[in-house]
Amino acid sequence: MFCMKCGNQIPDDSVTCPVCGAPVENAAPAAPVAPAAQYAPASAVIPSSTTYDIGGFVGDFGKKPIEACTSRDQSKHFLLGLTFPVFYLVMNFIFDLLADYVTVKSAIFNFFEGALAFGAFFGIVFLLYNAFKVKKVDFLSTCSWIGLALAPYSLMIVVTWLNSKLLSALDYKVFSISGALNTATMVFLAVVLYDYFYSKRTEKGSKMTALYFTVTSIAAWKLAETILSWMINKLFF
């Protein structure tokens, strides 16, 4: 090494410079340099956490329908949960357009009325978590499992429409199943709500409390639906 004062070369283990006598300051070892980050190709980019496994849900629904809904209360299933409410709204809009007694304006307002009603239902359940001491998840996660619980309700509209066409074709000589289907789908939704209370509650609750959670959720949804329908009719018709 070299003396920092006089510049003469001196032994590496020197404490003082043998030429000028100046003390030698040993330089600190250089810090290791981190290797440069390698460029990640496009195929290595981490995908979004949102999943859309409709096949997996249908398969699970066929085996354990209630658990298939309640086990998907994560925000990553948000788009999957919206599938069935959106399907209901779109199909209802199409059937309204095909009906002779429904105007295009009415069909459009029915669509937005239904969308607001579903949104109100998601919000109602989200707000009731604290009241009934249910483990609270975020709003998108709420939309996930509630939307999936509406799967039978959403598919019911197609069967109901087909049944109405059959009734019309046979001059109403066959039994209408719309009432039975609507009841069955609402019962399924109630069972999912009831089950969710027990599987996600933060404190031990009674069966009666679970029933209150279920009834309050559905009743508030239907009340909101009625109020929205009344407001839209008053404002636009």
The least confident of 133-137, 171-175, 221-225 is 171-175
DSSP code of residue 134: B
Q: What is the predicted pLDDT for the residue at 61?
A: 96
Cβ-count burial 10-44 (b if 16+ within 10 Å, e if not): beeeeeebeeeeeebeeeeeeeeeeeeeeeeeeee
| Contact between 107 and 90 (Cβ < 8 Å) | no
| Main-chain dihedrals φ then ψ at residue 143, nearest 5 degrees | -60, -30
CB neighbour list of residue 164: distance below 8 Å, 6 or more residues apart: 176, 178
Q: What is the predicted pLDDT for the residue at 46?
A: 40
Closest CA to 150 of 201, 113, 103, 191: 191
Structure tokens at 212: 């209150």
The least confident of 27-36, 71-80, 81-90, 131-140 is 27-36
Residue that the structure tokens 């981190």 belong to: 34
Q: What is the predicted pLDDT for the residue at 138?
A: 93
Q: What is the predicted pLDDT for the residue at 10?
A: 75
Give the Å distances, CA to CA, from 45 to 40, 52, 148. Answer: 7, 19, 30
What's the CA gap between 88 and 94, in Å, rounded? Answer: 10
